[in-house]
Amino acid sequence: MTALVAVGTHVPPGRVPIESLADEFDLTPMQLRVFRRYHKLGSAAQAPGTSLTELLRLALADLRLTTAQTERVRYVLYARTFPGVVPYPHNPLHEVCRSFGLQHAQAFAVGHHACASGLLALDLAGRLLATAPPDALALVLTGEKAFTGEARFVPETSMFGEGAAACLVAATGPSDRQLSYVARLRGEFDGELEEVAGEFQRVYHDALGEAVTTAVARAGLSLDDIALILPHNVNVVAWQRVCKRIGYPLDRVLLDHVADYGHVFCADAFLNHRTAVERALLRPGDRYVIAAAGAGRGATFSAMVFEH
């Protein structure tokens, strides 16, 4: 059973307010007010002078791997939202592996689930470790730069922030154990954004809610057994609607970072995990859900249940 051993994170101190995007994306004063007051999105974390390689290095450094752990890492999976995150021929994943003495590990990117690719990478890491030596470990890295218009802003929905997370994964262990995983793939949303956006928004809350409730049921639990949901930080109103659909208390969804960090690509859930642990929001034995949705060449609605 896959275990989440430890999580390292990095969020840069710099913030960009939503108003800074007004000219580039033709946002009206009314649209800006909607973002701040309705979606609760005020700013996003950004580090203009920091490369993607450095963001990933800082998150991995925060993990504080021991020499013994480094030697046991067999796989390094980089979960990303976009197919291309740096210009050719740069490869931040392999640069990071060299920096931390991980050249012996098999390193590759995981995508195609957009912002839900972090959960896909966790599940894949567990599957790979299930056939590896018992003491083998895997690393899942997440985090991207808001380097294009598409990677900075989602019209009427969210703004992207920069940051990174690194997760150490084992095949089994006493730490956070994965109990279930659900990924719903919706190929009908493979099209230009303006063509599919309306229908995507129409089904979004029901589809994400169904992924959460199915993952909980597959873990042999009910929503009453779930202490906390660690969401992707797309906006607050989206989670208000999902919670209303499934009958789950909104105050048990960790939304503290939406207004400050923005939507940090695949790293959201792990940044929220770090906060939940630091604030003692999870007690030993608590079950919690990590949930995410991704759009791009189709759509994915995913949820994963863990026991802390």
pLDDT at 11: 97
Among 41, 67, 71, 52, smallest CA distance to 12 is for 52
pLDDT at 37: 81
Percent of the chain whose predicted confidence (pLDDT) is above 90: 70
* One-character DSSP codes across the chain: --EEEEEEEE--S-EEEGGGGHHHHT--HHHHHIIIIIS---EEE--TT--HHHHHHHHHHHH---HHHHHHEEEEEEE-SSS--S-TT--HHHHHHHHTT-TTSEEEEE-SSGGGHHHHHHHHHHHHHTTS-TT-EEEEEE-----SSTTTEETTTEEB---EEEEEEESS-SSEEEEEEEEEEEGGG-S-HHHHHHHHHHHHHHHHHHHHHHHHHHTT--GGGEEEEE---S-HHHHHHHHHHHT--GGGB--TTHHHH-B-GGGHHHHHHHHHHHTT-S-TT-EEEEEEEEESSSEEEEEEEEE-
pLDDT at 84: 78
Q: Cβ-count burial of 23 within 10 angstroms (0-12 exposed, 13-18 middle, 19+ buried)? A: exposed
Residues paired with residue 300 on neighbouring β-strands, in sequence order? 185, 294
Query: What does the pLDDT look like over 163-211, one tens digit per residue?
Result: 999 999 999 988 899 999 999 988 777 766 666 667 777 888 999 999 9
User: Average pLDDT, stretch 203-229?
Assistant: 97
pLDDT at 18: 87
Phi-psi region of 64 (alpha: psi -120 to 50; beta: other; left: phi over 0): left
Which amino acid does the sequence have at 299? Answer: A
User: Average pLDDT, stretch 88-114?
Assistant: 93
pLDDT at 195: 64
Q: Which two tokens stand for residue 143?
A: 């985090």
pLDDT at 35: 83
HEC letters along 228-240: EEECCCCCHHHHH
Alpha-carbon span 302 to 186, nearest angstrom: 11
The region of weakest confidence among 13-27, 48-62, 67-81, 277-291 is: 13-27
pLDDT at 59: 98
pLDDT at 196: 65
Tell me the pLDDT band of 13, cut-offs 50, 70 and 90. Answer: very high
User: Average pLDDT, stretch 91-105?
Assistant: 96
Alpha-carbon span 291 to 230, nearest angstrom: 6
Q: Do residues 171 and 132 touch, judged by C-beta distance below 8 A?
A: yes
pLDDT at 191: 61
Query: What does the pLDDT look like over 283-294, one tens digit per residue?
Result: 999 999 999 998
Alpha-carbon span 231 to 56, nearest angstrom: 21
Percent of the chain whose predicted confidence (pLDDT) is above 70: 97
Alpha-carbon dihedral angle through residues 302, 116, 293, 246, given to the nearest 10 degrees: 30
Mean pLDDT over the full length of the chain: 92
Q: Which residues contact 31 (CB under 8 A, 6 or more apart)?
A: 156
